[in-house]
Structure 1
Amino acid sequence: MIKKAMESSDEAFNRGYEELIQTRKLETLVRMETSFFEMNSTSSLWGLLVNAGYLTISKIISNQEGLYVIKVPNQEVQQEFQKLTAHYLKVAGTDLFTMFSALKRRKKEDFKDKYQRILLTLPSYHDLKDENSYHMMLLGMCAWLCHDYKIISNREAGKGRCYIILKARKENQVSYILEFKYAKDSNTDLKELAKTAVEQIKDRKYDTEISGKIIYIGLAHYQKNIEIEWQEK
């Protein structure tokens, strides 16, 4: 029922879901007394997720208005939330698990192969039309990492805005900075474009607020074809 409801969600819900993935909490209107299928709205969909136990209310801002802060309650539910996010993105949960396992184990080629496979299984490439569309797709997938990493997206860092920073929550973990590039021409050298993405990370000092070991990842795309540049600091 929840999956069916998410499939008919609007852009307001999508923006809120992406914020929830990044910050692990969201301030939003929640209608818990009305079925989503009686009143198809973003607030009643959040209510459905709260009533089902996927999310919990952590702060009441206004009971009268139905304005609350909601969050994923615990690690056990986080695993179910990950599966829900995979469905939301139309990606197999096993593929996401394998891809991010490769990332955390620093297996560059395995990460690239799984990311490529995921792109090939997605709907039409016309939905992936620029750098931001790839960015938002991978950002959604990063819900799988929010227990181990602070997910930072499109925030001022150094001399610009970086697409995705995965800042390790533990000192002995590696942090990651990902920059996206998109080619409109099939003749573009994607390997060089991926290197350009990494140079941008370094030139604009996106790692200013991160200590410890960092891996810079440049992802260059043309439709569903990719190349990756992977450099360790």
Structure 2
Amino acid sequence: KAMESSDDAFNRGYEELIQTGKLETLVRMETSFFETSTTENLWGLLVNAGYLTISKVISYQDGLYVVKVPNQEVQQEFQKLTAHYLKVAGTDLFTMFSALKRQKKEDFKDKYQKVLLTLPSYHDLKDENSYHMMALGMCAWLCHDYKIISNREAGKGRCDIVLKARKENQISYILEFKYAKDSNTDLNELAKRAVEQIKDRKYDIELKGNVIYIGLAHYQKEVEIEWQEK
């Protein structure tokens, strides 16, 4: 309930936490969130509840800290929290990313489509960035096995999401999102263009080993996926 009533500042911080595994932020732990509903108290609630731990004190007087998810066991609970944050079923995210890691293209597409269809109507999927942010939140489920890179300069541009394998024998993934404003748009062709953008702009320049390029083309809650191996 606290996360449901959070503001944009908390949402931006939560997305940074998912992406980098840590966050520099103001934290208030001495006041109950339910007494004073602020972003600082919500971070304090997560610390006091054990979802996050303080890894660095920047200014004790100002309440400025670096927080992170403490360990793999808590990471599993953090995944469930993120599913709740996105208003999707944790089991759907688990099976979707399991399909991704096992290179089951059709299973991944089916589960991704199901997640889109079950998202509450107030999730404003109106442009490429909104789909990107939704998927970034989902990627909290993968941060143990992959380094999550989002909107960072790579090659000749900015890639949407890179899942860089932490182990040499794992496959890395690059996801590029496209959004059609017109229902007559050919989503299959748009998904192929997303993959061509990945290749043309060399978003994989820092990746070693096997890489899978995934182009995701959307119109509202419809999606087509182009999946190509490097």
TM-score of Structure 1 vs Structure 2, range by shorter chain: over 0.9
2:49 to 34, 48, 52: 52
Equivalent positions of 1:5-154 (< 5 A) are: 5-124=2-121, 127-154=124-151
Give the alignment's Cα RMSD to 1 decimal: 0.8
The question of whether the paired residues in 2 share the 8 Å contact of 1:125 and 1:223 is answered with no
Q: Which runs of 5+ in 2 are unaligned?
A: none
Which stretch shows the higher mean deviation, 49-58 or 118-127? 118-127
Query: Do structure 1's residue 221 and structure 2's residue 218 form an aligned pair?
Result: yes
Separation (CA, whole Å) in 2 of partners of 1:226 and 1:5: 31
Name the SS for the 2:29 alignment partner. coil
| Cα gap change, 1:84 to 1:126, in 2 (>3 Å) | closer
Aligned residues: 230
Separation (CA, whole Å) in 1 of partners of 2:121 and 2:92: 19
Task: State the 4+ residue runs in structure 1 displaced beyond 6 angstroms.
Answer: none
Separation (CA, whole Å) in 1 of partners of 2:6 and 2:119: 19
Name the SS for the 2:152 alignment partner. strand
Name the SS for the 1:7 alignment partner. coil
TM-score, normalised relative to structure 2: 0.99
Name the SS for the 1:99 alignment partner. helix
TM-score, normalised relative to structure 1: 0.98
Query: Do structure 1's residue 195 and structure 2's residue 212 form an aligned pair?
Result: no
Separation (CA, whole Å) in 1 of partners of 2:129 and 2:225: 17
The question of whether the paired residues in 2 share the 8 Å contact of 1:125 and 1:224 is answered with no
Cα displacement (A) at 1:126: 6.9
Separation (CA, whole Å) in 1 of partners of 2:218 and 2:122: 11
Percent identity between the two aligned chains: 88
Cα displacement (A) at 1:125: 7.4
